[in-house]
Amino acid sequence: MSKFVKFEDRGSIRIITFDRAEKKNAFNEEMLISISNIIEQASDLVEIRSIIITSKCEKIFSSGYDISSESIDSKESLFKIHIINDRADKHPLMKISEVIMESPKIIIAAINGSIFGGALEVMLNCDFQFFSKESFFCMPPVKLGIFYNYNGLKNFINKVGISNTKKIFFTGDKFNSDEAIHMNIFDFVVDQKDVLENAIAFSKKISVNAPLSIASIKRSINAFEKSQSIDNNEYNKIKESIIKAAESSDYLEAQDAFKSKRAPKFTGK
């Protein structure tokens, strides 16, 4: 169990809370593995009907995946995140999305602060999302010289459509809660102080329904989303574009700029 992740059971609801304030709640591998394990452990508990994921925060729900951690310093680690594969040793950032979608429980994200990068993608895999009116969301890979995986982009397209996905990813801008409502990226937008309580109330509403029926319907819906696959030829082209980006001088420039806390200068080479 990660020291940054805790959980408690309140009747039929399991609440997972993470707290890594010194890193603006950035996810590391240890946190992602812990959250995944807690979700999986609840799979066979008939008394648990739904799971809420939230953070103990002031303003930042999560700043994303911790790209300053040692685990992300190698291109091999990045490839494990962003290149589709069926290997058993999938990166925890990819594994947690599968765990959330495959869980028979209804999983709700109580996003009580601003959310960025990989954390946003993970939370979009939840069945429902509550978002704070006072907060922002952002996907910054183009500002960091980082490529992105097909499954993650597919998740955004399913949620907000192609046009909004392009807007979110190509600009790397911060979007406020009004824009979130317009894009329909989150299911509910409420005052920050009410995010968790609203999520709990919604969980209770679901928890009175037949759990096996819910699990079956969830699996069917997720199976439909999974069926939107790509052929080998297109996948190979995507893989080539990822490798090209990883071997570019822009990628090195982005990493140096991040560590030096300066704006990167991209050349497209």
User: For the segment 62-90, what is each residue's pLDDT rounded down to a tens digit?
Assistant: 999 887 654 445 556 666 565 555 555 67
Q: Which residue has the tokens 């394990």?
A: 37
Interior CA angle at 61 toward 144 and 257, to 5°?
20
Q: Spell out where the chain has E strands.
A: 5-10, 13-18, 50-55, 60-62, 106-111, 114-116, 128-132, 136-138, 174-176, 188-190
111, 61 Cβ separation under 8 angstroms: yes
Q: Per-domain residue ranges for the chain?
A: 5-260
Give the contacts of 99 (CB within 8 A, at least 6 positions apart). 36, 39, 40
Give the domain 5-260 fold. Answer: 2-enoyl-CoA Hydratase; Chain A, domain 1 (3.90.226)
Segment 161-214, tens digit of pLDDT: 999 999 999 999 999 999 999 999 999 999 999 999 999 999 999 988 988 899
Token pair belonging to 135: 């907060």
**Which position has the higher pLDDT, 27 or 267?**
27
Residue 72 has a pLDDT of 46
169, 142 Cβ separation under 8 angstroms: yes
CA distances from 194 to 17, 95, 111, 129 (A): 16, 30, 11, 13
Q: What is the pTM of this model?
A: 0.84
